[in-house]
Structure 1
Amino acid sequence: MPPLLSQLRRRLEHAIRRRTARRLLVALKRATHRLPSTLVPPARGRVLVIAPHADDEVIPCGGTLLRHRQLGNPTRVVFVTDSSAGLADAQLAQRLRDIRLKESGQVAQAMAFDSVVHLNLPDGQLVRHEAPLTQQLLAHIRDFQPDIIYCPFPGDGHADHQACALAVANAANELGWKGQIHAYEVWTTLWPNIMIDISDQAEEKQYLIGLYASQMADRDYAAGTLGLNRFRGLQHRVQHAEAFYACDAHEFHTLTHKLNQLMP
């Protein structure tokens, strides 16, 4: 095929993919706005949390995990990156890794997680490691046999979070996993279809976020997050709520890949 025709064909295929993805997004947005979010209690079952960085287990869903703890639900947290902030200076990066490892251990102990795993992939570079990450997450899903997986929403405004969502989607789909995925919000608010009342857990959640002192030095994550939780709670007339997009593995796989087509 002549180079010009080949180029035109690629552009046409790209345009078709973008239009298809946009139609899906519009349909999803309409569906979630037509069907307001439901305030639900946390379900009983085994819980797997996929956290791109140390603190992503507590900022978006710490209150919900505290409620899972009350239910006695077995919980495993998988920290994906080394949480080094992608620092170029090797000594500074190692120092930050050590600090955040210690902080995550304090949070894990306070929240009584059953197991914690550190994959130590390079912070800020997960887009280059999606295939091996998929296989590692697949192994943890197969080993832990969760009923619920908490992971980032695929449209969250951080490349590592997007890569984690894609890896979860691919791993769960490849396994034919039958549980529920609850996608959480961190840097970008999502279109929630469920919320969980964390009013009684808000104070403890604030304390737990504060254990990540290295991250609180230049910005108050606790105040920002609890403010979002307070705003989320208004819809259901509760003091604080955490918002999620809940779906099965097949829907999450479809949604994630359509959103991925929109990413540069």
Structure 2
Amino acid sequence: MFDWSAQRLLVIAPHPDDEVLGCGGLMHKAKSAGAEVYLQFLTVGDTADISAKGFSTADERVGEIKAVADHFRWDDWHIAFPGDDYHLRLDAVPRFEVANMIERLSPLSVANVEPTVVLAPHRLSYNQDHQAAAEAVHTALRPSDTRLRHHPRLVLAYEEAADQWRNEPTTAPNLLVELDQAAVDAKIAAMRLYGSQFHDHPHTRSELTLQSLSVLRGMQGGVAFAEGYHAMRWLV
């Protein structure tokens, strides 16, 4: 049995809400067990959307982050590349810059936090910022001498329902984290706090989608609920 109480989690989220969609249940489970949880957001800016208002502002979304941070009791959070010059344009930023930020330059870098677990988006997402984030994490956590650079022992790529929108075959998660009803409820409640991003069903960011995916992954592990991950490193 994996001891979440002894872990220090660093979650890399391209945008505010990706962390809830991908690993909201795990964050609740780990924090409830006594783990430390740190959130490194990469970017946020003004965003056109399909809401009645038609857009959400960066200030609005930062306010949502603060509410979600209180909800999950994160130990700290940080935005690496704020503003419209970066938001939805991370693919135009040299990977060297994004990887360096994740590896050692951010206040919540791997070097500073020294996490035991890193969670990051999957590279098969259709979203360009998610792809850039995934590739940068892959570079930042490259194998090297553990005496010289911190190596998280567990590195997981989290999934979002929208990741299935691909023109190439996708593989099922190879690691399942069991959730209880409280963790699923906490995940959905957190998504509701991201009011600018939450949608009615049918939508990839609806309550029914989050509930259904947790039921599907749970069924695959023979339990009621779970989140699915792709293990990139598991050093035991």
Task: Give 1:71-150 correspondences, 5 Å limit.
Answer: 71-85=33-47, 96-121=57-82, 122-129=86-93, 130-139=95-104, 140-150=109-119
- Provide the C-alpha distance between the structure 2 equivalents of 1:211 and 1:42, rounded to a whole number of angstroms: 29
What letter is aligned with 1:188? D
Instruction: Name the counterpart of 1:227.
Output: 212
- Structure 1: runs of 5 or more not aligned: 1-39, 251-264
* Structure 1 residues 86 and 131: CA distance shift in structure 2, 3 A: farther
Aligned alpha-carbon RMSD (Å): 2.3
Q: TM-score if structure 2 supplies the norm length? A: 0.79
Partner secondary structure for residue 155 of structure 2:
strand
What letter is aligned with 2:184? A
1:220-249: CA deviations, max 9, x gaps?
Answer: 532212211111111123222100011229
Picking from 127, 141, 150, the partner of 1:172 is 141
Q: CA deviation at 1:178?
A: 4.5
- Provide the C-alpha distance between the structure 2 equivalents of 1:170 and 1:243, rounded to a whole number of angstroms: 23
User: Contact 1:42–1:196 (CA<8 Å) still a contact in 2?
Assistant: no
- Structure 2: runs of 5 or more not aligned: 165-170
Partner secondary structure for residue 196 of structure 1:
strand
* Structure 1 residues 132 and 64: CA distance shift in structure 2, 3 A: same
What letter is aligned with 2:67? Q
1:184-225: CA deviations, max 9, x gaps?
Answer: 111214521110111331112111111111112564532212
Moved over 4 A (4+): 217-220
Partner secondary structure for residue 106 of structure 1:
helix
Structure with greater proportional helix content: 1
- Provide the C-alpha distance between the structure 2 equivalents of 1:111 and 1:137, rounded to a whole number of angstroms: 22
- Provide the C-alpha distance between the structure 2 equivalents of 1:69 and 1:241, rounded to a whole number of angstroms: 16
Q: CA deviation at 1:183?
A: 0.4
Instruction: Name the counterpart of 1:159.
Output: 128
Which shifted more, 211-220 or 139-148?
Answer: 211-220
What letter is aligned with 1:47? L
Q: CA deviation at 1:84?
A: 2.8
Q: TM-score if structure 1 supplies the norm length? A: 0.71
Number of residue equivalences:
206
